[in-house]
Structure formats: C-alpha cells, structure tokens
Amino acid sequence: MKTYVISIDQSTTSTKVFLMDTKGNIIKETAKKHKQIYPENGWVEHDAMEIYQNMMDCLHQILHTINQEDEVLGICLTNQRETTVIWDMDSGLPLYHAIVWQCRRTIPICESLKAYETIVEEKTGLKIDPYFSATKLKWLLNHVDTPVEKIMAGTMDSWLLYKLCGKHVCDHTNASRTLLYHLKDKKWDDELLKIFDIPKCILPEIVYSDGNFGSVEIDGRVIPILSVIGDSQSALYAHQAFKLGDVKVTMGTGSSVMMNLGKQLPEHHGGVVGALAYHTTKKDAYAGEAIINASADTLNWLRDDLGLYEKDQMLNDISMNAHGVYLVPAFVGLGIPYWMSRAKACISGISRNTTKTDIVVAGMQSIAYQIYDAICALEENADISATRISADGGASKNPALMQFLADICDKDIITYKQSAFSAFGVYLLGLQKLGYACDDLQKIDQIYHPKMDKETRMRYIEGWKQAVDVVVYDADKRGAL
C-alpha cells in the first residue's frame, strides 16, 4: 500500500491537481484550463461552475491512477485570491460569473468610497481598489435579484469548499484579501461591512489555514481537506520564508512580492499593502505585499495576441538588450507603488530600427523593473533590507530574465527545483498538520548573482522611471478630464 496527498492549485488560468507522496515528490499531475471571459473592456470573469467541474475532472483522473488499497491522506487547496463568487443557497449554483481579481469594473464604486480610504487601510492594510473583493461583491449584490437570505458569497476557496464539503468556510489568508477583514483582530469587521454595504450573513466562517474544512466523498473514498491558503501565501510558505526580511517573488499572471514582517503590522505608505503571511493553529506572521498587476501575462500578450514570438523556450537564451525600448504593462492599471486604476499600457523608445525582438525583450524587462520597484517599496515601508530573495513561477525558469532581475535589483536571486510552488506550499501545510517533518523537502536550483556594472544598471532604471512617468502623466491628465 502506498500513501499519497493530493494538492490542488486553482489559479487564474487553470486548475492543476497533483498527486504527491510524503517526501515532496510529484507522482502524477493533471490540469484543465478554463475560459477567460471579457464582457467589456477591463472586465474579467470566470465561470465558477466550469472551474468546479474542471477540478472534479482532474480529481477523478488522479484517483483513477492509483490502486484502491492505496491511502489518500487528504486534499490540500490553494486558490487565486480576491476573485469573488456569489451563489444560491438552495440550488448551489452561481448567480453570476465570478468576478476576477484583474477586473476593473468597480472603479466608480471605489472612487465613491474615497472618504473612507484612511479607515479602510488602517483596518485591512489594503487600498480601496477594484483588485480586492469587497467592491466586486457590492457590484454583484446590485446585479442579482435573489433575496439576501438566500445568498452565499466568498472567494474561490469558499466556493470550492462549499461544493466539495457543503461547508461555508474560508481561511484567514483569503479573508484578508476582501477589504472586509480586520488584519489585527483577524475577523470580519462590522464597520467595514457597513462601509461597503455587505450583509455579514452571506459571508463564510473564517478558519485557520490548517483548520477543520470537512471531508469530500469521491470515487468511493472519504478524503479530508487538510489545508487551505491563498496562492501567494502558499508560495511564500513553499519558499520557507519564515524569517524577518525574507522575500518571495511569484511570477505568475501578475506578481506578488511578499516580505515576511514577523509580528510587525505593515506601515501604510509607499503603495505596500498589508497581508497575513500565514495563520495556522501553531504559528502566524504578517507580511508586506507589493502587487504587480501584469507580469508574465505581458509575455502571453506578446506571444498570443501580437504573435511576436511562438514558444517560451525561445526566450531562454535571448539577449536582454531592448535597445532603448520600454514597455510599461499597465493593461489593468498600475499596482505598486502607484495604484492607478486608470493607467494605460505604453511602449516607448521606438525607432525605425526597432525590431520585434526589442519589444519582446522590453516586455521581459518590465517584469524585472516592476519587481525592483516592489522590493524597494517593501524595504522602505518596513525600514529593513531584504535578507533573502527567492523566485517562483513559470517566468522564474527563464535564465536570461532571472539574471537581468539579479542585475537590476543588485541582489542574489534564488530559484528552486520545485516548480509547482503554490501547490507545494499548501501541501507542506497539510503534511505538517499530519505530523510530518518538512524542513528538507525544498531544494535550491540556481542562485543568480548580479553581474551588471553600476553605471549600466542605473541607466536602465532611469529609462524605466521615465517611461513610467509618461504613463502616470497620461493617467493624471485623463483623470482630470
């Protein structure tokens, strides 16, 4: 008889399910992409039932690969954060498509709540911004006819747990991304609920990330849910970033750059938002988080929409010289440190000699520049230097990009052999809940040391700042019209 743990990573573009042993090895994996729905410019939706069905399809596929006598110790779930689902209590069906974290439709709602910016940030650590869940939920409630007493709502973890186990719960890290959660008191806050006009009765119960989520019956097995945590926090856990000043960089559709602050609540300046690094039955910590709206998604745009290159492998050995071209990927506004919802993307520095490759390289470089801005903001916010920086996500497998990141940040950047970081972090949480030791399961792959001379580095950074200034000026001008 063999023993396994299943880890689910429900992300922005797909649902991935991993069958793992208790030694950190991925035995089998499967994935299904879901449709990206764009009803209007700047609006992004997902079909919550499609995501649930994809997850169940993947679970069935995984379970059919093992013997009936093999033991599945439990399921671990990590998910895209902030994305908001609303469903009918009786039918268990969504009342509307899920509104995705990228969606900007609630800009007018956010602008109408500017008078509450200070109190909201003091309580939540977050900005009043369409990125977070509260204004998405407010919009949804305004666009469905179902009586409030028949409505359930939550982030993606809450929706999937309800469908799996019949329990209306969520974990603390996901709750902390809603603008309705008091970061210090660690609970739903009545004043915040009043500000956003959200009835408390539709929200899930908040539990520890390794708390009691219930069990699911599938293919003749009753399997407990061991752990649940938001994807960025799960990646931080996988990085074992448990010391003050440890920084992890997740390079996904967007980027989340997190610095462990221990017991220190984040300050409210520099565009940094406060976060729970983790909150389990045994330990907790706060983090400063810098949010980048468009990271590897910029490369998807260059490849899939503009057709400037065909395969990601083509970029691994590319020369990181954009010949003065800069791409500021404000496709859904600018995040850290500007938080400008109305900002628009821009390519600058183009000449008659500019090539497709220059634009692709500028897109790659934009990932590094934004991470540099994020780390600077985190260090200034916490008044501490980043002690250790590690990166994960698909883009972290690109040697050219990672070397450029080390050069621009002028710091060592660590990458790991493990690739499925979000799935791996929540898996570690689940193993620890079961009493397994997990300290030696993560293996370093590469350490990138900075090689660029100071003069060249500063010239690149200054060019980037000038390109961003153009975008900021344009957004300010249009906002004043």
Tell me the DSSP string of 256-324. EEEEEEETPPPPS-TT-EEEEEEE-SS-EEEEEEEEES-SHHHHHIIIIIS-S-S-GGGGTT-----TT
| The predicted structure's pLDDT at residue 479 | 59
CA distance 230 to 177: 9
Whether 68 is covered by a domain: the verdict is yes
Residue 480: what pLDDT?
42
> Per the domain annotation, does 175 fall within a domain?
yes
- 275-278: list long-range contacts, CB under 8 Å, 24+ apart: 275/125, 275/173, 275/176, 275/177, 275/233, 276/172, 276/173, 276/176, 276/183, 276/186, 276/233, 277/233, 277/236, 277/241, 278/173, 278/209, 278/229, 278/233, 278/236, 278/237, 278/429
What is the rounded CA–CA span in Å between residue 245 and residue 385? 7
pLDDT in tens, the chain (481 residues): 789 999 999 998 899 999 999 988 899 999 999 999 999 988 999 999 999 999 999 999 999 998 888 889 999 999 999 999 999 999 999 999 999 998 999 999 999 999 999 999 999 989 899 989 999 999 999 999 999 999 999 999 999 999 999 999 999 999 999 999 999 999 999 999 999 999 999 999 999 999 999 999 998 889 999 999 998 899 888 988 888 999 999 888 888 899 999 988 877 666 788 888 889 998 889 989 888 888 888 999 999 999 988 888 888 888 899 999 999 999 888 878 887 878 899 999 999 999 999 999 999 999 999 999 999 999 988 888 898 899 988 888 899 999 999 999 999 999 988 778 889 999 999 999 998 877 777 778 899 999 999 999 999 999 999 999 999 988 877 654 3
Q: What is the dihedral of CA 244, 376, 110, 124, to 10 degrees?
A: 10
* Global pTM value: 0.84
Does residue 30 lie within any of the structural domains? yes
Any domain includes 105? yes
- How many independent structural domains does the chain possess? 1
How far apart (Å, rounded) are the C-alpha atoms in residues 247 and 333?
A: 24
CA 342 distance to own-chain centroid = 21
* Residue 248 within any structural domain of the chain: no
CATH number at residue 181: 3.30.420.40
Q: How far is CA 358 from the centre of its chain?
A: 28
Whether residue 193 is contained in a domain is answered as: yes
In a domain, 276, yes or no: no
29 token code pair = 């994996």
Does a structural domain hold residue 103? yes
Q: Write out the residue range of the structural domain in which residue 133 sits.
A: 3-229
